[in-house]
């Protein structure tokens, strides 16, 4: 079984403790697109405030930017 974070509350994943612990992760929802031969699941972290950027012009100089792509 797999699931997305809930809209109402979050439960901490702790397989060593039998008590139920919550946490303050932001809520999320998912969009699932079905086709005859494909399933795509998009997670939308709608409360995420991190900045968006153009993937072709990354503001970070990391290995993905330096690696030549065909």
Domains held by the chain: number = 1
Does residue 14 form part of some domain?
yes
**pLDDT at residue 1 greater than cutoff 60:** no
Does residue 48 form part of some domain?
yes
Does residue 3 form part of some domain?
no
* Full domain range(s) for residue 20: 10-66
pLDDT of residue 25: 84
Does residue 54 form part of some domain?
yes
pLDDT tens for 22-65 read 988 888 888 899 999 999 988 888 888 888 888 777 787 777 66
**pLDDT at residue 16 greater than cutoff 60:** yes
DSSP string covering the chain, please? ---PPPSS-EE---TT--S--EE-PPP-EEEEEE-SS-EEEEEE-TT--PPP--GGG-SS--HHHHS---
């Amino acid at each position: 079984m797999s699931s997305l974070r809930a809209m109402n509350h979050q439960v901490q994943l702790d397989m060593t403790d039998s008590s139920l612990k919550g946490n303050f992760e932001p809520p999320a929802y998912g969009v699932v697109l079905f086709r005859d031969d494909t399933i795509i699941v998009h997670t939308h972290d709608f409360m995420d405030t991190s900045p968006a950027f153009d993937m072709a012009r990354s503001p970070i100089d990391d290995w993905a930017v330096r690696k030549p792509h065909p």
